[in-house]
Protein backbone atom coordinates (compact mmCIF):
# COMPACT_ATOMS: atom_id res chain seq x y z
CA UNK A 1 0.00 0.00 0.00
CA UNK A 2 1.34 3.41 -1.02
CA UNK A 3 1.73 5.89 1.85
CA UNK A 4 3.58 8.72 0.07
CA UNK A 5 1.94 11.27 -2.21
CA UNK A 6 1.62 9.68 -5.65
CA UNK A 7 -0.49 9.75 -8.80
CA UNK A 8 -0.24 5.99 -9.23
CA UNK A 9 -3.76 5.41 -7.93
CA UNK A 10 -5.25 7.87 -10.41
CA UNK A 11 -3.27 6.30 -13.26
CA UNK A 12 -4.62 2.93 -12.18
CA UNK A 13 -8.17 4.22 -12.38
CA UNK A 14 -7.81 5.84 -15.79
CA UNK A 15 -5.98 2.86 -17.30
CA UNK A 16 -8.21 0.11 -15.91
CA UNK A 17 -11.33 -0.47 -18.07
CA UNK A 18 -13.15 -2.04 -15.12
CA UNK A 19 -13.15 1.08 -12.95
CA UNK A 20 -14.00 3.25 -15.95
CA UNK A 21 -17.02 1.04 -16.63
CA UNK A 22 -18.05 1.37 -12.97
CA UNK A 23 -17.95 5.17 -13.24
CA UNK A 24 -19.83 5.10 -16.54
CA UNK A 25 -22.51 2.81 -15.06
CA UNK A 26 -22.84 5.15 -12.08
CA UNK A 27 -23.31 8.14 -14.38
CA UNK A 28 -25.90 6.41 -16.55
CA UNK A 29 -27.92 5.11 -13.62
CA UNK A 30 -27.77 8.47 -11.81
CA UNK A 31 -28.83 10.53 -14.83
CA UNK A 32 -31.66 8.10 -15.62
CA UNK A 33 -32.92 8.21 -12.02
CA UNK A 34 -32.71 12.02 -12.01
CA UNK A 35 -34.70 12.36 -15.24
CA UNK A 36 -37.24 9.79 -14.06
CA UNK A 37 -37.71 11.52 -10.70
CA UNK A 38 -38.19 14.86 -12.48
CA UNK A 39 -40.78 13.42 -14.88
CA UNK A 40 -42.67 11.70 -12.06
CA UNK A 41 -42.19 14.43 -9.47
CA UNK A 42 -43.15 17.53 -11.45
CA UNK A 43 -46.86 16.66 -11.94
CA UNK A 44 -47.17 15.76 -8.25
CA UNK A 45 -45.42 18.96 -7.14
CA UNK A 46 -47.51 21.05 -9.55
CA UNK A 47 -50.75 19.51 -8.28
CA UNK A 48 -49.73 20.11 -4.67
CA UNK A 49 -48.73 23.70 -5.39
CA UNK A 50 -52.11 24.47 -6.98
CA UNK A 51 -54.15 22.49 -4.47
CA UNK A 52 -56.33 24.30 -1.96
CA UNK A 53 -57.63 21.07 -0.46
CA UNK A 54 -57.59 20.43 3.27
CA UNK A 55 -55.91 17.12 2.49
CA UNK A 56 -52.85 18.87 1.14
CA UNK A 57 -51.00 18.61 4.45
CA UNK A 58 -51.80 14.90 4.62
CA UNK A 59 -50.42 14.38 1.12
CA UNK A 60 -47.21 16.21 2.02
CA UNK A 61 -46.86 14.03 5.12
CA UNK A 62 -47.25 10.92 2.94
CA UNK A 63 -44.50 12.20 0.65
CA UNK A 64 -42.18 12.98 3.56
CA UNK A 65 -42.91 9.73 5.40
CA UNK A 66 -40.58 7.53 3.27
CA UNK A 67 -37.69 9.81 4.27
CA UNK A 68 -38.16 8.62 7.85
CA UNK A 69 -37.43 5.06 6.75
CA UNK A 70 -33.84 4.02 6.09
CA UNK A 71 -32.73 3.29 2.54
CA UNK A 72 -31.87 -0.28 3.56
CA UNK A 73 -35.46 -0.93 4.66
CA UNK A 74 -36.83 0.60 1.47
CA UNK A 75 -34.45 -1.50 -0.63
CA UNK A 76 -35.65 -4.58 1.25
CA UNK A 77 -39.20 -3.62 0.30
CA UNK A 78 -38.22 -3.50 -3.36
CA UNK A 79 -36.63 -6.93 -2.98
CA UNK A 80 -40.01 -8.28 -1.90
CA UNK A 81 -41.78 -6.55 -4.80
CA UNK A 82 -39.29 -7.52 -7.54
CA UNK A 83 -38.32 -11.00 -6.35
CA UNK A 84 -39.19 -14.17 -8.27
CA UNK A 85 -42.11 -14.72 -5.89
CA UNK A 86 -42.77 -11.00 -5.57
CA UNK A 87 -45.76 -8.85 -6.40
CA UNK A 88 -44.69 -7.90 -9.94
CA UNK A 89 -44.04 -11.47 -11.08
CA UNK A 90 -47.24 -12.68 -9.42
CA UNK A 91 -49.17 -9.99 -11.29
CA UNK A 92 -47.53 -10.84 -14.64
CA UNK A 93 -48.24 -14.54 -14.22
CA UNK A 94 -51.82 -13.90 -13.07
CA UNK A 95 -52.65 -11.95 -16.24
CA UNK A 96 -50.86 -14.46 -18.46
CA UNK A 97 -48.19 -12.02 -19.63
CA UNK A 98 -45.45 -14.48 -18.67
CA UNK A 99 -45.62 -18.19 -17.85
CA UNK A 100 -42.76 -18.23 -15.34
CA UNK A 101 -41.11 -15.60 -13.13
CA UNK A 102 -38.75 -13.22 -14.91
CA UNK A 103 -35.53 -11.97 -13.39
CA UNK A 104 -36.03 -8.46 -12.04
CA UNK A 105 -33.76 -8.52 -9.02
CA UNK A 106 -30.04 -7.79 -9.39
CA UNK A 107 -30.57 -5.87 -12.62
CA UNK A 108 -30.10 -2.21 -13.60
CA UNK A 109 -33.90 -1.89 -13.67
CA UNK A 110 -34.12 -2.83 -9.99
CA UNK A 111 -31.44 -0.29 -9.09
CA UNK A 112 -33.16 2.45 -11.10
CA UNK A 113 -36.54 1.76 -9.50
CA UNK A 114 -35.12 1.54 -5.99
CA UNK A 115 -32.95 4.64 -6.30
CA UNK A 116 -35.73 6.67 -7.89
CA UNK A 117 -38.01 5.71 -5.02
CA UNK A 118 -35.42 7.00 -2.56
CA UNK A 119 -34.83 10.38 -4.24
CA UNK A 120 -38.33 11.12 -5.55
CA UNK A 121 -39.56 12.85 -2.34
CA UNK A 122 -36.59 15.25 -2.49
CA UNK A 123 -37.47 16.21 -6.06
CA UNK A 124 -41.16 16.69 -5.26
CA UNK A 125 -40.56 18.85 -2.19
CA UNK A 126 -37.94 21.00 -3.96
CA UNK A 127 -40.19 21.62 -6.95
CA UNK A 128 -43.24 22.27 -4.80
CA UNK A 129 -41.53 25.02 -2.81
CA UNK A 130 -40.70 26.86 -6.04
CA UNK A 131 -44.02 26.25 -7.79
CA UNK A 132 -45.93 27.63 -4.80
CA UNK A 133 -44.09 30.91 -5.30
CA UNK A 134 -45.45 31.31 -8.84
CA UNK A 135 -48.33 33.76 -9.03
CA UNK A 136 -51.33 31.84 -10.34
CA UNK A 137 -52.79 35.06 -11.74
CA UNK A 138 -50.05 35.09 -14.40
CA UNK A 139 -51.20 31.73 -15.70
CA UNK A 140 -54.83 32.82 -15.56
CA UNK A 141 -54.00 36.00 -17.48
CA UNK A 142 -52.35 33.96 -20.23
CA UNK A 143 -55.43 31.78 -20.55
CA UNK A 144 -57.68 34.85 -20.64
CA UNK A 145 -55.58 36.11 -23.56
CA UNK A 146 -56.28 32.92 -25.49
CA UNK A 147 -53.36 30.69 -24.53
CA UNK A 148 -54.19 27.02 -24.26
CA UNK A 149 -53.38 25.18 -21.01
CA UNK A 150 -50.44 23.47 -22.74
CA UNK A 151 -49.02 26.76 -24.08
CA UNK A 152 -49.54 28.42 -20.70
CA UNK A 153 -47.72 25.59 -18.96
CA UNK A 154 -44.72 25.37 -21.29
CA UNK A 155 -44.30 29.11 -21.90
CA UNK A 156 -45.05 30.45 -18.42
CA UNK A 157 -45.09 27.85 -15.64
CA UNK A 158 -42.17 25.72 -16.79
CA UNK A 159 -39.73 28.64 -17.34
CA UNK A 160 -40.67 30.15 -13.97
CA UNK A 161 -40.10 26.76 -12.34
CA UNK A 162 -36.56 26.50 -13.74
CA UNK A 163 -34.84 27.41 -10.43
CA UNK A 164 -36.67 24.55 -8.73
CA UNK A 165 -35.85 22.17 -11.57
CA UNK A 166 -32.18 23.12 -11.36
CA UNK A 167 -32.07 22.77 -7.57
CA UNK A 168 -33.97 19.49 -7.57
CA UNK A 169 -31.83 18.07 -10.36
CA UNK A 170 -28.58 18.92 -8.60
CA UNK A 171 -29.76 17.52 -5.26
CA UNK A 172 -31.12 14.28 -6.72
CA UNK A 173 -28.12 13.74 -8.99
CA UNK A 174 -25.72 14.09 -6.07
CA UNK A 175 -27.76 11.61 -4.01
CA UNK A 176 -27.89 9.12 -6.89
CA UNK A 177 -24.18 9.33 -7.63
CA UNK A 178 -23.35 8.56 -4.01
CA UNK A 179 -25.99 5.88 -3.41
CA UNK A 180 -24.69 2.85 -1.55
CA UNK A 181 -27.32 0.62 0.07
CA UNK A 182 -29.72 0.46 -2.88
CA UNK A 183 -27.13 -0.56 -5.53
CA UNK A 184 -25.65 -3.17 -3.19
CA UNK A 185 -28.98 -4.78 -2.24
CA UNK A 186 -30.80 -4.48 -5.57
CA UNK A 187 -27.88 -4.63 -7.99
CA UNK A 188 -25.94 -7.46 -6.40
CA UNK A 189 -22.70 -8.46 -8.09
CA UNK A 190 -24.15 -7.84 -11.54
CA UNK A 191 -24.05 -4.05 -11.23
CA UNK A 192 -21.30 -2.19 -9.43
CA UNK A 193 -21.40 1.53 -8.73
CA UNK A 194 -18.79 3.93 -7.40
CA UNK A 195 -19.85 4.26 -3.75
CA UNK A 196 -19.83 0.49 -3.09
CA UNK A 197 -16.49 0.26 -4.92
CA UNK A 198 -14.99 2.92 -2.64
CA UNK A 199 -16.26 1.03 0.40
CA UNK A 200 -14.86 -2.24 -0.92
CA UNK A 201 -11.39 -0.78 -1.48
CA UNK A 202 -11.24 0.85 1.95
CA UNK A 203 -13.00 -1.69 4.18
CA UNK A 204 -12.37 -5.02 2.48
CA UNK A 205 -9.17 -4.57 0.50
CA UNK A 206 -7.71 -2.12 3.08
CA UNK A 207 -6.38 -0.09 0.15
CA UNK A 208 -6.96 3.37 1.59
CA UNK A 209 -4.94 5.32 -1.01
CA UNK A 210 -6.82 3.83 -3.97
CA UNK A 211 -10.14 4.07 -2.15
CA UNK A 212 -9.46 7.73 -1.40
CA UNK A 213 -8.55 8.33 -5.04
CA UNK A 214 -11.84 6.75 -6.13
CA UNK A 215 -13.73 8.89 -3.61
CA UNK A 216 -12.10 12.07 -4.91
CA UNK A 217 -12.83 11.12 -8.52
CA UNK A 218 -16.45 10.41 -7.58
CA UNK A 219 -16.74 13.79 -5.83
CA UNK A 220 -15.24 15.70 -8.78
CA UNK A 221 -17.41 13.91 -11.35
CA UNK A 222 -20.53 14.38 -9.21
CA UNK A 223 -19.98 18.10 -8.71
CA UNK A 224 -18.97 18.56 -12.35
CA UNK A 225 -22.05 16.78 -13.65
CA UNK A 226 -24.35 18.66 -11.27
CA UNK A 227 -22.88 22.04 -12.21
CA UNK A 228 -23.01 21.20 -15.93
CA UNK A 229 -26.66 20.16 -15.74
CA UNK A 230 -27.45 23.34 -13.82
CA UNK A 231 -25.74 25.48 -16.47
CA UNK A 232 -27.66 23.74 -19.26
CA UNK A 233 -30.98 24.25 -17.48
CA UNK A 234 -30.22 27.90 -16.74
CA UNK A 235 -29.13 28.55 -20.35
CA UNK A 236 -32.35 27.04 -21.68
CA UNK A 237 -34.25 29.16 -19.15
CA UNK A 238 -32.60 32.35 -20.43
CA UNK A 239 -33.31 31.42 -24.07
CA UNK A 240 -36.93 30.66 -23.27
CA UNK A 241 -37.44 33.93 -21.41
CA UNK A 242 -35.80 35.90 -24.24
CA UNK A 243 -38.00 34.27 -26.85
Instruction: With beta carbons less than 8 A apart as the criterion, state whether 117 and 74 touch.
Output: yes
User: Tell me: the pLDDT tens digits for 15-27?
Assistant: 999 999 999 999 9
Q: pLDDT at position 3, please?
A: 58
Predicted local confidence at residue 114, as pLDDT:
95
154 is a domain residue: yes
1 lies in some domain:
no
What residues make up the domain containing 20?
8-242
Does some domain include residue 102?
Answer: yes
Structural domain contains residue 100: yes
Whether this prediction's pTM lies above 0.75 is answered by yes
Does 232 fall in a domain?
yes
pLDDT value for 234: 76
CATH for 106: 1.10.3720.10
Is residue 2 situated within a structural domain?
A: no
- Determine the Cα–Cα distance for residues 15 and 4; give it in Å rounded to an integer: 21
For residues 173 and 101, the answer to whether their CB atoms sit within 8 Å is no
Q: What is the pLDDT of residues 116-130, one digit of tens each?
A: 999 999 999 999 999
pLDDT beneath 50: ranges in the chain: none
Provide the CA 226 distance to its chain's centre, in angstroms. 12
The candidate with the shortest Cα–Cα distance to 131, out of 238, 230, 45, 41, is 45
Amino acid sequence: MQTALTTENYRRFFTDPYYQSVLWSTLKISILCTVLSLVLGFPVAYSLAKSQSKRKSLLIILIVFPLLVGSVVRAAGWMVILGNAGFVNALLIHFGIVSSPIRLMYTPLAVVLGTTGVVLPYMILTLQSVLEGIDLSVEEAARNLGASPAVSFFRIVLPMATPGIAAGTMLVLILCMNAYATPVLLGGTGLTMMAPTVYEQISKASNWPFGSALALILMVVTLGTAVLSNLVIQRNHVKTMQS
